[in-house]
Amino acid sequence: MCAHVVVAEDDPKQADLIRRYLEREGHRVVVVHDGRAALEAARGGPAELLVLDVMMPVMDGLDVCRALRAESALPVLMLTARATEEDLLLGLDLGADDYLTKPYSPRELMARVRSLLRRSSGALPQEAPAPSPALTAGAVTVDPLRHEVTADGRYVSCTPAEFRLLEVLAAEPGRVFTRAQLLEQLHGIDRYITTRTVDTHVMNLRRKIEPHPRRPARLLTVYGIGYKLAEGPHGAS
């Protein structure tokens, strides 16, 4: 799968290494070295993925991700030397789709890139089944074929990870999924991230699909177990 990838990395050697590996797999690559240039490149061209270092001059990667998420669902793979759970969850809370901690192997990086591109484009391996028809749970509809989510008939912009999570829940409304089960569906998540990652995605989704996010009636917590998507006509069980 050939894609247009923006690489934002202020270390020239590291940026060149990433570029060479991406080009080896057939991708078109634009390299920038500061956060403002990364945001402009993501906004101004046909980018399909942003590989984004956290620590950059002018504008750091977290601010880039925050600004980008206000206007775009472009997949973002964040790179960082910060390996604490709080740092990783912060990046995901701002809308990053995956998080890779340094040092990492180029092979692992390419695997993450392939996973994100496959999920964002809807492309599936040949042996995988065809996407399901639109899934409806109350006022929420998830359409895997169009890769679209609506709530109360209103289009909802989701990151690939948020979409996958909602797709899993909408396929079986009313069923309770544990955090571990949901985390397994989010391929490519960094080994340092725990099941709290799911909580972060759920908080983001509630802001998007709930009429009152602080009093959720659609994406429900089942205390001590996990989450479910309500199946009632208005999203209430």
SS (H, E, C) 182-198: HHHHCCCCCCCCCCHHH
52 strand-pairing partners: 8, 78
Give the mean pLDDT of 15-44: 93
Which residue has tokens 């899993």?
168
Given a contact cutoff of 8 angstroms between Cβ atoms, the answer to whether 124 and 131 are in contact is yes
Q: What is the pLDDT of residue 128?
A: 46
Q: Please give the mean pLDDT across all residues of the chain.
A: 84
Separation CA 237–CA 231 (nearest Å): 6
Which residues does 149 contact at the CB level (< 8 Å), separation at least 6?
140, 141, 142, 143, 155, 156, 158, 163, 166, 208, 209
pLDDT digits (tens, 9 = 90+) for 187-211: 545 454 566 778 888 998 999 999 9
Given a cut of 90, whether residue 1 has pLDDT beyond it is no
pLDDT digits (tens, 9 = 90+) for 111-169: 889 888 887 765 434 444 555 688 999 999 999 888 899 999 999 988 778 888 999 99
pLDDT digits (tens, 9 = 90+) for 86-121: 777 777 777 788 888 888 888 888 988 988 888 776
Give the mean pLDDT of 60-79: 89
* Edge-to-edge strands, sheet with 219-222: 177-178, 226-229, 219-222
